[in-house]
Amino acid sequence: MPGEFVSYAVRAAYGVVAGIIPWKCPPLQAAWKIAPALAAGNTVVLKPAEQAPLSALALVRLAHQAGLPPGVVNAVPGRGDVAGAALCRHPDVAVISFTGSAPAGAAIRRAAAGRAAPVLLELGGTPPAIVFEDAGVHEAVAAVHAAAFTGQGEVAAAPWLLVHRSLHDEVLTGLVGQVGDVTVLGDPVDPTTTLGPLADEEHLRLVRDYVGRARRGGAQLVTGGTTRKVGGLPSDLFFEPTILDGVAADSGIAQEEVPGPVLCVTPFSSENEAVTLANSVGPGATASVHTRDVGRAHRVAGRLTARNVWINAWRRAGSASPYGGYDLSGPELIDALTREQSVWVSTR
């Protein structure tokens, strides 16, 4: 009856969160899994990538040394199809939070489907960088170059360049010059190095295969496209910064995340065409828009299915900004890592 109850709503922790991370930027990826899960009141079991487990394990050890109680933050290294699959199926794991490729994300959803466990996915993709005819060429070239080749191009923000036909040649010339001016292949711990080796043989084979298929599909090689030996270093994993022009919008190299220093270029003629091309890769993490027209910048940003859009910039972010997403990629973490609970109290 009215007046006999009062109620309140809370967000309660789920319990154990399994955080499964890729080999890229492993300490940062680990922190991104651990911090929001703990902030929401959960405990964490971290599964680092088998290619790069040590820094994530060291971070967990530091958490223990800092005084977190036993069992709050844990790490289970191993292969994804063994350790990762076991976490997905384990009845004590309440939520699975995964960052990585779309095929791996689909496998995780299948592994967790039998017990209907919530799965949070942040999937890799190809972020579009749109350069309109009124963009500042120097600024756009610098931003696109940084996005394409920072971290050997192995970060998820490496773009697919969509450039207006009127600026195509000028932007391409600027990018080739930038590559020639600043590229220093070398030891990644050397502060003068701007491009280190790729992660492993598997990723080198993937990059070479993507480039080869793109060229057979009609893309033109502008620069790079092959491995290079760096004097004094034993690694055979150095891949030259590569630019491919005339890349078909429906090609694999445009539609899928390429784990290497490869920039794909596709010209466009109109704003609608640019937005259609950009959204053809599906909902993604990031996009950038380069234009001097403020109205166009905000109009296009609002039409892009990307959860972070930079205008005349790249990779600028603040910790106070929301980091939501679209569909299956990148939900608001605090909401996703807690469950809503209503409590009704009798006043009789």
- Express each pLDDT in 239-285 by its tens digit: 999 999 999 998 989 888 888 999 999 999 999 999 999 999 876 67
Rounded to a whole number of angstroms, the distance between the first and last alpha carbons of the chain is: 10
Sheet containing 160-164, strands listed edge to edge, beginning at the edge strand earlier in sequence: 220-223, 242-245, 262-268, 160-164, 128-131, 284-290, 306-311
Which of the listed CATH numbers 3.50.50.60, 1.10.1740.110, 3.40.309.10, 3.40.50.1970 matches domain 128-311?
3.40.309.10
Q: What percent of the chain has pLDDT over 70?
A: 93
CA distance 50 to 23: 8
Cβ neighbours around 54 below 10 Å, total = 11
- 321 burial level (CB within 10 Å; 0-12, 13-18, 19+): exposed
CA distance 245 to 264: 6
Which of the listed CATH numbers 3.40.605.10, 3.40.50.720, 3.40.50.300, 3.40.980.10 matches domain 5-124+329-346?
3.40.605.10
Between CA 210 and CA 216, with CA 213 as vertex, the angle to 5 degrees is 150
pLDDT at residue 332 in the model: 59
Per-domain residue ranges of the chain? 5-124+329-346, 128-311
Residue 90 has pLDDT above 60, yes or no: yes
Residues 307, 87, 107, 338, CA torsion sign: negative
Confidence of residue 126 (pLDDT cuts 50, 70, 90): confident
Alpha helix stretches (DSSP H) within 183-251: 201-216
Confidence of residue 2 (pLDDT cuts 50, 70, 90): low
Confidence of residue 327 (pLDDT cuts 50, 70, 90): very low
Lowest mean pLDDT among 48-52, 151-155, 227-231: 151-155
Residue 305 has pLDDT above 90, yes or no: no
CA distance 208 to 82: 28
Mean pLDDT of 211-224: 95
CB–CB of 33/6 below 8 Å? no
pLDDT at residue 3 in the model: 62
pLDDT at residue 325 in the model: 52
Count of helix runs (H) and strand runs (E) in the chain: 11, 14
pLDDT at residue 347 in the model: 75
CB–CB of 151/122 below 8 Å? no
pLDDT at residue 348 in the model: 67
Three-state SS annotation for 95-138: EEEEEECHHHHHHHHHHHHCCCCCEEEEECCCCEEEECCCCCHH
CB–CB of 246/254 below 8 Å? no
pLDDT at residue 246 in the model: 96
Mean pLDDT of 146-173: 90
